[in-house]
């Protein structure tokens, strides 16, 4: 063996130090397909549109709750203002009624009568002004009552939608969980068929290669990184025994040969 051959032999030995018959290698592709599906399910679980909408609605609910508390507080304040305005009007009315009764009774001097007359007129003006205030306060109360009703209705609508979304999310999760459980059962069989040594290598590569540990060699192209193999690599693969576990020179993933590999 010349220096050049020995060097190539050592390199080959280092690269392809695992042997596994073709049926085990093909089972490895089944394993990869199951794991890819598991990754898709995990991704689907994390990115369900219902989850994003629930986060959005949660923010809306907090904002609505804040608005509702403020509107209810303002309404409470204004209701106290109405009571006060009403009391003020009532006091003026009573006083006016008393003055008028005294005038009707005709007790006191002409000057007293004149003073009473003057007060009754001034009380009438005061009552009119207080009633204007009361009216304005009642209008504000009406607007706030409408606002509280509107906010309560919006909040109720939001709660209904949140309940719907929670139900949709739970249903989607349950379906995904069922599929995960089914895959888990198949996976155990496939793992047994692939064998511990090859599964070990595959897992190691998969962890460091974005979830893809094994790929098909299809028409001279690595199904993992999608790069085309050069001629030197192709020659090496063509010469390799069927049970040699090949690795992509570029991405180091396990490459499984099939009838479409071109080697």
Positions in the binding site for Zn ion (CB under 5 A): 222, 224-225, 248, 250-251
Nearer to Zn ion, 14 or 111 (CB): 14
Q: Which two tokens stand for residue 95?
A: 């006083």
Nearer to Zn ion, 166 or 230 (CB): 230
Q: Which of 21, 28, 24 is nearest to 223 (CA)?
A: 28
Question: Of all residues in the chain, what percent are helix, strand and coil, respectively (each to 5)?
Answer: 75, 5, 15
Minimum Å gap between C-beta 62 and Zn ion is: 49
Minimum Å gap between C-beta 20 and Zn ion is: 19
Minimum Å gap between C-beta 261 and Zn ion is: 13
Name residue 244's beta-bridge partners. Answer: 19
Minimum Å gap between C-beta 226 and Zn ion is: 7
Name residue 215's beta-bridge partners. Answer: 255
Nearer to Zn ion, 144 or 214 (CB): 214
CA distance 112 to 107: 8
DSSP per-residue codes, 119-176: HHHHHHHHHHHHHHHHHHHHHHHHHHHHHHHHHHHHHHHHHHHHHHHHHHHHHHHHHH
Give first-to-last CA distance, the chain, whole Å.
26
Residues 151 and 71 sit within 8 Å (Cβ to Cβ): yes
Nearer to Zn ion, 33 or 251 (CB): 251
| Residue 160 burial (10 A CB sphere; 0-12, 13-18, 19+) | exposed
Minimum Å gap between C-beta 220 and Zn ion is: 12
Nearer to Zn ion, 194 or 212 (CB): 212
Nearer to Zn ion, 12 or 72 (CB): 12
Minimum Å gap between C-beta 247 and Zn ion is: 9
């Amino acid at each position: 063996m010349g220096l050049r051959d020995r060097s190539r032999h050592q390199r080959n030995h280092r690269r392809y130090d695992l042997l596994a018959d073709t049926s085990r290698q093909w089972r490895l592709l089944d394993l990869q397909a199951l794991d890819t599906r598991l990754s898709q399910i995990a991704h689907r679980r994390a990115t369900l549109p219902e989850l994003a909408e629930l986060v959005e609605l949660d923010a809306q609910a907090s904002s609505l709750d804040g608005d509702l508390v403020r509107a209810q507080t303002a309404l409470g304040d204004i209701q106290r203002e109405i009571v006060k305005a009403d009391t003020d009007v009532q006091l003026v009315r009573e006083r006016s009624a008393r003055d008028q009764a005294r005038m009707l009774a005709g007790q006191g001097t002409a000057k007293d009568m004149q003073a009473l007359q003057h007060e009754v007129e001034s009380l009438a003006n005061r009552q009119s002004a207080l009633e204007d205030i009361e009216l304005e306060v009642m209008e504000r109360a009406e607007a706030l009552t409408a606002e509280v009703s509107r906010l309560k209705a919006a909040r109720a609508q939001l709660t209904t939608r949140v309940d719907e979304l929670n139900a949709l999310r739970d249903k989607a999760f349950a379906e995904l969980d069922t599929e995960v459980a089914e895959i888990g059962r198949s996976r155990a069989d496939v793992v047994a068929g692939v064998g511990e040594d090859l599964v070990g290598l595959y897992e190691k590569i998969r962890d460091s290669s974005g979830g893809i540990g094994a790929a098909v060699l299809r028409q001279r192209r690595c199904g993992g990184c999608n790069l085309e193999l050069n001629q030197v690599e192709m020659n090496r693969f063509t010469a390799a025994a069927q049970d040699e576990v090949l690795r992509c020179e570029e991405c180091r993933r396990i490459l499984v040969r099939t009838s479409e590999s071109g080697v």
